[in-house]
Structure 1
Amino acid sequence: MKVNKYITGLSMAAISFALASCNEFLDKYPDSRMDLKNPSEVSQLLVSAYPSAHPAYLTEMYSDNTDEQMHSTWSTFDRFQEQAYQWKDIQEVRNSETPYQLWEAHYTAVATANEAIAHIKSVSNPHDYDAQLGEALLCRAFAMFQLSTVFCQAYDKTTAQGNLGLPYPTEPEQVVGRLMERGTLEQLYANIEKDLLEGISLVGTKYARPKFHFTKQAAYAFATRFYLYAQQYDKAIKYADLVLGNQPGDILRNWAEWNQLGPSGNVQPNAFVQASNNANILLLPVPSEWGVISIPVLAGSKYAHGEMLSKNETLQAPGPWGNSGTELLYTVTYNNGVSKYALRKIPYVPRVIDVTAGIGIPYSEYAVFNTDETLLERAEAYALSGKYAEALKDINTELTAFSKKKVQLTLDKIKDFYNSQAYYTPTKPTPRKALNPLFAIEKTTQEPLLQCLLQLRRILTIHEGFRLQDVKRYGITMYRRQVDVQSKVNALTDSMKVGDPRLAIQLPQDVISAGITPNPRNK
């Protein structure tokens, strides 16, 4: 088995090639054959330690944000989209967001980080490289964390010792054919935490374009999400505090200003990921078709976030703040004759490689960490810690920025709303979905508060790939529905309940063939 291909990524020459980007920041790369001589050259190398792929397209298709839309003119975009929606083990490799490409891109980032770390360990003056070492460790931890959200089950303290993790390379591959074991999810999280904490202690602050690097703030935002998923809520709150400061409302997205831009073209998407926006903490430009698949154009309309979802569960559904579509600060985009209901958040920029041949690569950009998400992550950590007043305060801080009338909720109003909603069924959908996590939830106050947080985050992060993680962490049952143009469910074709092995997306077939243990499947 060629471990340097299947585990630790591509060669150093391929690293420079694979991460070419339409973004100016990523247009220049160090020579892959360079002999590293100083901290500046290591910093240049670390430009390639950020993954050249993002799982949003895959995880949105896989999640309950997508239905099968039944109309004669609505067709699938490609085999990858169909396999992802149908929860099949995906065989397609060409699309930039397939499991194969995600695996390659993230392990390439790990390989780059390991090259940098190995060089730093070899020099006589390693402390001169502290900032570079911190960034390399954070990049390695981030790449592995992202992979865990795709290829692993959700972390839970009661099952992490038994669930599969992922190979975690910590040094450049020297022996071709050495098989690395996956280990357990508990071991994977321990390795991520070790790199994360050491990286936080070392990472620097001086970057020409800080929104494309792990700054202290980005490292703290990463730690917030990691510890929330790791069920260490006090630590999630601690690091969120370091991101948000004493006045978090001052650094949230200006949703009113963004909404006024209008949904045509790339105007709103470009503004959403603008580096000068204080809400954006870490930006990741990657090859991606999701910027066009997610919006109301005909391409890929068979599997989409459609009217039934929008009006009953997400963008236009009722919430304790009122009607989401009229009370929250966004304009839902849709077109007659197209199935999709969307927000314009993901840029789509084709980069031309060969004008004559008409060859190009589509690119998007993602705000992988931002202050609004960090605030809601802290609110969830408070809610799960039984600190309901603090959770409510964070929700209201977000709603001050995200609602037209600066809505302020009370615990009673939240409880009254969700208690008045029947639990979701696939034919009678509501925003209130049954929660079946492996941990206990107090029913009177905690569950309605969590329902509020999950609904608000589902709306706020629509199209960004986060919903599947909430589904996995809270044991929410997903259904596959065939929905006609009158938003009537014609058929239920599948369901995925808590504990379903398909919640861990299958590894690429090439990786399995190379000897890596696949994710289990029911016979």
Structure 2
Amino acid sequence: MKKIKLSIFLLAAVGFMTACNDFLNKYPDNRMELRTPSDVSKLVASAYPDAYPAYLLEMYSDNTDEQVNETWSSLDRFQEQAYGWADITETGVPDVPQKLWNASYSAISTANAAIEFIEKQSNQDAYQGQLGEAKICRAYAMFQLANVFCRAYNPNTAEKELGLPYPYAVENDPRATYQRGTLAQLYSNIEKDLTEGMELISNNNYAQPKYHFTPAAAHAFAARFYLYARQYEKAIAHADAVLGTDATPMLRDWEQWRKLGANDQVQPNDYIKSSKNTNLLLFTGMSMWGYVSRPVGIGSKYAHGKLLSSSETLESKGPWGEGGTVLNYMVTSGSNVSKVALGKIPLKLDQYDPQAKTGVPYAQFSVFNADETLLVRAEAKALLGRYEEAVADINTLLKVFIRSEAKSTEATRTLTLKGIQSFYNALRYYTPSQPTVKKQLHTDFTIEATTQEPLLQCILHLRRLVTIHEGLRMQDVKRYGMTIYRRRVSVENRIIEVTDSMKTDDPRQAIQLPQDVITAGLQANPR
């Protein structure tokens, strides 16, 4: 068998671009001799980005307000820039866009190295699982970049929107240049890798399957991808492949999780356990979010506060009842901090000085899970006019999401289409000074007003609760053209002033590329 030696370099922490034209040529750090399928499996295990944009996107979304108190301050300039929708220039902390860019293209280069090796082997059948995983990893890294640095996909305008470079080979030419292409090309490339990879993967290759793209994780990825790509029948088909005929055994045991209490890391560590059926793909990456998202003093100036929680999210009222008392989560807060939160994101330190207890902060994330996939399916069905089926999916989630001890006078355990219509049609639309859970949807496609819109409002409301702190809300904002605002909120939870707004046509919806990438010659996002 032909032997190929790979010299691979890891960007430390956030890292720096070392040359103008090699910003896509990033590798994980070790020296490897690829000889066997097992060797390639070990390489492909490094084809998952060690960065995740939850902190960045939660700051960017409508899940954050500016909390005004003389003792509450921002964590750093990155947090200030992300909240203010500014072009982020910070590079020295874990959650910045440059880190995500570097980590994603590093993962893609690793996948490309594995694919190149496999394509040169005479016994390629022995490597089909590794080839499938590498292609799906490449697709996922590009999808994650697209969700951050590009506009929401619109089939009517995608040929005109900027995409991102999609490398298919390890780049060894320092003079190479890259073009962004279109968003339509980017989505087409992602779909090609995803569908080809799914034909090849299996569960048999993984010692720790929840940290790899198993068939279930790949189907969950495909369901979300096709929902965003507006191919709803395909989104439903892939969600069905994950959930089966009865999704209940796949869903999180929310009641068990809630009853763990909010002590230290107990709830967060349980949330991301690989033994949970709901967790389909888990990521670990450098991030401060496991600390900043919790109700502690650090980073309190920009936070998910009491006003948001009571009027729009965790403690808001839905057709199921008051969220803070009937739903299966424990809302945590503190008298001296601005944050209202759930214990979902664990913080770990890779300690290099045990005495000082300092080290590189890591967080873990449930990137794909059955609960979110169920809501993907419900949304796709609602968009296709399959309303009763969508309501059935909502009720499947509510079976585990509503507290067993909640009284019938407090909670509505089984929703009807008529009940959903009555609840959301009776609400006035959100304004920044009079917030509600119902935001106006500005889409290029028609949403039927009396039935379809209230059903979508219900699903988006539930998605916001189920995925809070996980960075997915911003994609819903972009996909449905919601206008979101920057507000200054007092300690008494009064709105002092509205300082900015982001409408559906705002170019800032696409976060700006890292500055050194722009300096290297890649076209910047318009401003």
Give the TM-score of the pair, scaled to structure 1.
0.95
Find 2:170's aligned residue among 155, 169, 172: 172
Could you say which residue in structure 1 is the equivalent of 2:10? none
Which residue in 2 is equivalent to 1:26? none
Per-residue deviation, 1:138: 0.4
* Alignment-derived partner of residue 148 in structure 2: 150
What's the offset of the Cα at 1:5?
A: 4.1
Match of 1:341 in 2: 340
Give the conservation status (yes or no) of the 8 Å contact 2:349–2:358. Answer: no
CA shift for structure 1 position 6: 1.4
> Per the alignment, in what secondary structure is the counterpart of residue 159 of structure 1?
coil
Mapped pair 1:89 → 2:87: yes
Q: 1:448 aligns with which of 441, 446, 454?
A: 454
Q: Is 1:7 the equivalent of 2:13?
A: no
What corresponds to 2:250 in structure 1? Answer: 251
The residue aligned with 1:416 is 422
SS in 1 for 2:257: helix
> Residues 414 and 452 of structure 1 are in contact (CA less than 8 Å); yes or no, is this contact kept in structure 2?
yes
Deviations 1:466-497 (A, max 9, x none): 00000000000010000001111111100000
Equivalent pair of 1:293/1:300 in contact (CA under 8 Å): yes
* Residue 498 (structure 1) shift: 0.4
Structure 2: which 5+ runs fail to align?
A: 1-17, 405-411
Could you say what the CA RMSD is over the residues aligned between the two structures, in angstroms?
1.1
- 2:314 touches 2:465 (CA, 8 Å); kept in 1? yes
Q: Which residue of 2 aligns with 1:313?
A: 312
For residue 354 of structure 1, report the CA deviation from its aligned partner.
3.1
Equivalent-residue separation in structure 1 for 2:33 and 2:67 (angstroms): 54
Q: Could you tell me how far 1:3 is from its partner in structure 2?
A: 6.3
Question: What is the rounded CA distance, in whole Å, between the counterparts of 2:265 and 2:356 in structure 1?
Answer: 25
AA paired with 2:145? L
Query: Counterpart amino acid of 2:271?
Result: F
Alignment check: 8 A CA contact 2:425 2:450 kept? no
C-alpha separation in 1, matches of 2:151 and 2:324: 33
Q: Secondary structure at the match of 1:494?
A: strand
Deviation at 1:511, TM superposition (A): 0.3
1:514 aligns with 2:499: no
Deviation of 1:438 after TM superposition, in Å, equals 1.8
Q: Distance in 1 between matches of 2:390 and 2:158?
A: 27
Q: 1:513 & 1:3 partners in 2: Cα distance? A: 7
Deviation at 1:2, TM superposition (A): 3.4
Asked whether the 8 Å contact 2:268–2:345 carries over to 1, the reply is: yes
The equivalent residue for 1:282 is 281
Which moves more between the two structures, 261-270 or 358-367?
358-367
What residue number does 2:497 align with?
491
Tell me the alpha carbon deviations over residues 171-192 of structure 1, each in whole angstroms, 9 at most, x when there is no partner. Answer: 1102112111000000000000
SS in 1 for 2:365: strand
User: Secondary structure at 1:409's aligned position in 2?
Assistant: coil
Contact conserved, 1:153 with 1:504, CA < 8 A, in 2?
Answer: yes
Q: Which amino acid aligns with 1:211?
A: K
Correspondences of 1:3-152 after superposition (within 5 Å):
5-8=22-25, 10=26, 12=27, 15-16=28-29, 32-152=30-150
Asked if 1 retains the 8 angstrom alpha-carbon contact of 2:20 and 2:519, the reply is no
Aligned to 2:160: 162
Distance 2:202 2:20 in 1: 32
Asked if the contact 1:3–1:173 (Cα under 8 Å) also holds between the matched residues in 2, the reply is: no
Of 32-41 and 449-458, deviating more is 32-41
- 1:335-380 deviation digits (Å, cap 9, x = unpaired): 0010000000000111102336754111110010000000000000
Counterparts in 2 of 1:452-491, with a 5 A limit? 452-491=458-497
The whole-number CA distance in structure 2 between the counterparts of 1:113 and 1:4 is 20
**Residue type of the partner of 1:299?**
I
Distance 1:42 1:322 in 2: 51
Alignment gaps of 5+ in structure 1: 17-31
Given that 1:4 and 1:173 are in contact with CA atoms closer than 8 Å, whether structure 2 keeps it comes out as no
Percent sequence identity over aligned pairs: 56
Q: Report the 3-state secondary structure (helix = DSSP H, G, I; strand = E; otherwise coil) of the residue aligned with 2:203.
A: coil
Structure 2 residue 241 is matched with structure 1 residue 242: yes
**Residue 60 to residue 358, structure 1, CA distance change in 2 (3 Å):** same
C-alpha distance in 2, partners of 1:3/1:237? 43
Residue deviations 1:54-112 (CA, integer Å, cap 9, x gap):
00000000000000000010000000000000000000001111011000000000000
CA distance in 2, matches of 1:98, 1:421: 38
Q: CA deviation at 1:499?
A: 1.2
Cα separation, 1, equivalents of 2:23 and 2:171:
11
Which amino acid in the other structure matches residue 314 of structure 1?
Answer: T
Matched, 1:228 2:245: no
Letter in 1 for 2:495: V
Higher alpha-carbon deviation: 358-367 or 395-404 = 358-367
- Correspondence for 2:435: 429
Match of 1:25 in 2: none
Matched residue SS, 1:451 = helix
The equivalent position to 2:509 in structure 1, one of 503, 506, 511, is 503
What amino acid is aligned across from residue 249 of structure 2 in structure 1?
Answer: D
CA deviation vs aligned residue, 1:271-295 (integer Å, no higher than 9, x gap): 0000000010000011110011001
Q: Do the aligned partners of 2:21 and 2:520 also contact (CA within 8 Å) in 1?
A: no
CA–CA distance in 2 between the matches of 1:33 and 1:122? Answer: 20
Q: Distance in 1 between matches of 2:368 and 2:274?
A: 12
8 Å contact 2:148–2:511 — kept in the other structure?
Answer: yes
- Residues 132 and 204, structure 1, Cα contact 8 Å, conserved in 2: no
Deviation at 1:33? 2.3
Amino acid at match of 1:6: F
* Aligned counterpart, 1:208: 207
- Aligned partner of residue 34 in structure 2, secondary structure: coil
CA distance in 2, matches of 1:371, 1:123: 37
Deviation at 1:4, TM superposition (A): 6.7
Q: Report the count of equivalent residues.
A: 502
- Which residue of 2 is the match for residue 187 of structure 1? 185
Tell me which residue corresponds to 1:22.
none
Residues 488 and 496 in structure 2, CA contact (< 8 A), matched pair in contact too: yes
Using the TM superposition, give the Cα deviation of residue 433 of structure 1 relative to its aligned residue in structure 2, in angstroms.
0.5
Deviant stretches of 4+, over 2 Å: 1-5, 354-359
- The range that moved more, 404-413 or 512-521, is 404-413
Specify the code of the residue in structure 1 equivalent to 2:371. Answer: D
Counterpart CA distance in 2 for 1:300 and 1:238 is 42
Give distance in 2, aligned partners of 1:361 and 1:126: 39
AA at the equivalent of 2:470 = E
Q: Aligned runs of 1:356-395 on 2, under 5 Å?
A: 359-395=358-394
The 8 Å contact of residues 51 and 103 in structure 2, kept in 1 or not, is answered as yes
Q: Which amino acid aligns with 1:53?
A: A
